[in-house]
Structure 1
Amino acid sequence: MTRATRATKKTWKLKTLIAASAGACLLAFQAPASAQAAWPDKPVTMVVPYSAGGPTDVVARMLAIPMGKSLGQPVIVENTVGAGGTIAPARVAKAAPNGYTILIHHMGMATAPALYKKLNYDPLKDFEYVGQVLDVPMTLLSRKDFPANNYQELLAYVKANKDKVTLANAGVGAVSQLCGLLFMNQIGVQLTTVPYKGAGPALNDLMGGQVDLLCDQTTQTAPVIKDGNRVKVFGVTTPQRLSSLPNIPTLDEQGLKGFDVRVWHGIYAPKGTPPAVIEKLNAALRAGLQDDMVKHRLAELSSEIVPVEKQTPESLRTHLTAEVAKWGKVIRAAGVQAD
């Protein structure tokens, strides 16, 4: 074999290796794109930080069905309860960033950084944002046989009996705790607080007469209020009355000036979830919020779907950033912090 022939063979082998390497690289880049195009090919799990039957769980289960139809795969709601709603976000933050594990959370996502000394996730760094969902008003309730019959009587009674009155909440970091905290701060009275593992158990004990007061979301309380016999209601926490509960005055109009607490919800995915997957999740969310059953049910619960322009990843990111700053100041000023 001549020297020229050997050189030709070496050149041919080198070209073959280069071509093979290039092909392998191309396949490596094409595989994820192909996988993203096929996503989802199995059920998606939507993690809820609170107990079954609570307000966030109610919203999740309403959205799961139409979102599943849009995605072509079931959306399975899973309750991961504990530590004031911080276990679920930590779990989702550590999940594989493939879109099969997502989180629905309320404004507790913004309050956790100030409430907890040690947090196993960063709401602003460890997630991709899918979109905002809805705003939920709150109501201030008491057990049916509570001595007061209107807000002024309530105010007089709690000031005269502050050591006897109990105020329930759904646990440290829950919106009901924050609403109760703001209420006590604004009227200048500290009551005995009773934390529960979720809003459902707290409301059940209120109706059973085991606790006196509760401030909670209309997704939880509206059906009970409309029933008319199971609790007393002293006011709603929004500046305007609710169209679905028009006879209930606001706390603001009854003298608690500036009292405005509304609960917002958002959907998140682990950091690094591909943009194409986030886009599909967002499209499913928007389709879910247009579902007639969802709109009807949320209206019954006195909840407001956010405008279309807020149903975006960018809007949720901006809103969460502002809420972290806002509630951080409130919580630090009140000196409230959990271990």
Structure 2
Amino acid sequence: MKTLNALIGATALAALSLFSASAGAAGYPERQITMVVPFAAGGPTDTVARLVAESMSKDLGQQIVVENVGGAGGTLGAGRVAKAQADGYTILLHHIGMATSATLYRKLAYDTLKDFDYVGLVTDVPMTIVARKDMEATDLKGLVDYAKANKDKVTVANAGIGAASHLCGMLFMSSIQTPLVTVPYKGTGPAMTDLLGGQVDIMCDQTTNTTKQIQGGTIKAYAVTSAERLDVLKDLPTVKEAGMPDMSVGIWHGVYVPKGTPKEATEKLTKSLKVALKDQNVAARFAELGTKPSSDSDATPEALKAKLEGEIARWKPVIQAAGQYAD
């Protein structure tokens, strides 16, 4: 009898918990939401996150506060969200590193495909291949020839292992089949500062970080990795036009929540993301940075899940060939 009573009690408690979670999700959001950005403030991903968070806050009627949890190529911030309470009040905005970290890091505190649910894709930012202002090469073919002829001394800067610039740098070396001297920094800012000062030779980074410098003539640009030329950089050829179609790549961003987040909460976040991506201010600011908001069909859990799975498969051989792993 005691066993039966205990079983009934446990069942009732479980049902009550399920009802409470469902009721809470129905009124979601009832308080402030934290959007974790796994990189330093002021960087390209942080810029995207703050624009989207501001617009989503207006739509949801609750503030979304961006919290920068940098370190370990974005894995510290992602790990924090993976272990957060699955209630919709802690969300993650991450870029392509969400996919590459699955191979890049030998030990992760989370399972990339099992510990998250999906909200939707945000944007796909093109990359630019740039160099110090006084680089001898005048076009991409010349840059490749120069890099191959001086492979032991040509330096390729990046913002740290797992950063977009690191990934693009690996792809560049893979495309030209030549290993170069990689120089990692603790963030995009220091890497760009040394490129501007001529202390390093080459960098491949997002338009959100390079457009102003290219327009100002403080660095030399060779190509953009998008399929078409950008309105803000009309004179810059695409990698395909410049003879390197294998370098076609974008740094896509997506929003995630911890696994098990109530469906009602995830659906509200997806709906709000779509509203934000149609915000004229967001679209205008994205355009200034050389990118554009994701479409309605891409700003969905299904599209983000498919993108993540496909990108893990795409980048695995590139990372393995480069042999640049992190513990």
TM beyond 0.5: yes
- Is 1:308 paired with 2:296? yes
Of residues 88-97 and 257-266 in structure 1, the stretch that sits farther from structure 2 once superposed is 257-266
User: Could you tell me whether the CA contact under 8 Å between 1:51 and 1:197 is conserved in 2?
Assistant: no
Distance 1:152 1:30 in 2: 63
- Is 1:245 paired with 2:245? no
- Is 1:329 paired with 2:317? yes
- Counterpart for residue 6 of structure 2: none
- Counterpart for residue 154 of structure 1: 143
In the TM superposition, what is the alpha-carbon distance from 1:126 to its structure 2 partner? 0.1
Flag the 1:22–1:53 CA change in 2: closer, same or farther, 3 A.
closer
- Counterpart for residue 5 of structure 2: none
Counterparts of 1:65-80 in structure 2 under 5 Å? 65-80=54-69
User: Could you tell me whether the CA contact under 8 Å between 2:94 and 2:255 is conserved in 1?
Assistant: yes
In the TM superposition, what is the alpha-carbon distance from 1:109 to its structure 2 partner? 0.7
* CA-to-aligned-CA distance 1:239-292 (integer Å, 9 cap, x gap): 332233111112222222432111111000011110011011111111110111
Distance 1:238 1:40 in 2: 37
User: Could you tell me whether the CA contact under 8 Å between 2:98 and 2:112 is conserved in 1?
Assistant: yes
Flag the 1:24–1:330 CA change in 2: closer, same or farther, 3 A.
closer
- Counterpart for residue 105 of structure 2: 116
- Counterpart for residue 100 of structure 1: 89
- Counterpart for residue 265 of structure 1: 253
Higher CA-based Rg? 1
Structure 1, unpaired ranges of 5+: 1-19
Flag the 1:223–1:26 CA change in 2: closer, same or farther, 3 A.
same
Flag the 1:81–1:279 CA change in 2: closer, same or farther, 3 A.
same
- Counterpart for residue 87 of structure 1: 76
User: Secondary structure of 1:68's partner?
Assistant: helix
- Is 1:200 paired with 2:189? yes
Percent sequence identity is 51
- Counterpart for residue 39 of structure 1: 28
In the TM superposition, what is the alpha-carbon distance from 1:336 to its structure 2 partner? 3.1
- Counterpart for residue 4 of structure 2: none
Aligned CA RMSD, in angstroms, stands at 2.1
- Is 1:235 paired with 2:223? yes
In the TM superposition, what is the alpha-carbon distance from 1:23 to its structure 2 partner? 9.4
User: Secondary structure of 1:310's partner?
Assistant: coil
TM-score, normalisation: structure 1: 0.88
User: Aligned pairs, how many?
Assistant: 319
Distance 2:197 2:31 in 1: 42
User: Could you tell me whether the CA contact under 8 Å between 2:174 and 2:318 is conserved in 1?
Assistant: no
Of residues 59-68 and 200-209 in structure 1, the stretch that sits farther from structure 2 once superposed is 200-209
- Counterpart for residue 177 of structure 1: 166
User: Could you tell me whether the CA contact under 8 Å between 1:51 and 1:200 is conserved in 2?
Assistant: no
Distance 1:296 1:31 in 2: 41
User: Could you tell me whether the CA contact under 8 Å between 1:138 and 1:218 is conserved in 2?
Assistant: yes
In the TM superposition, what is the alpha-carbon distance from 1:319 to its structure 2 partner? 1.6
In the TM superposition, what is the alpha-carbon distance from 1:37 to its structure 2 partner? 2.3
Flag the 1:156–1:38 CA change in 2: closer, same or farther, 3 A.
same
Distance 1:155 1:330 in 2: 18
- Counterpart for residue 132 of structure 1: 121
Flag the 1:69–1:160 CA change in 2: closer, same or farther, 3 A.
same
Counterparts of 1:14-33 in structure 2 under 5 Å? 28-33=17-22
Flag the 1:31–1:256 CA change in 2: closer, same or farther, 3 A.
closer
- Counterpart for residue 56 of structure 1: 45
Flag the 1:165–1:287 CA change in 2: closer, same or farther, 3 A.
same
User: Could you tell me whether the CA contact under 8 Å between 1:236 and 1:250 is conserved in 2?
Assistant: yes
Structure 2, unpaired ranges of 5+: 1-8
In the TM superposition, what is the alpha-carbon distance from 1:28 to its structure 2 partner? 4.9
- Counterpart for residue 14 of structure 1: none
- Counterpart for residue 291 of structure 1: 279
In the TM superposition, what is the alpha-carbon distance from 1:42 to its structure 2 partner? 1.7
2:305 maps to a residue whose letter is: R
* CA-to-aligned-CA distance 1:189-230 (integer Å, 9 cap, x gap): 221111112223211221132221110011111122122x21
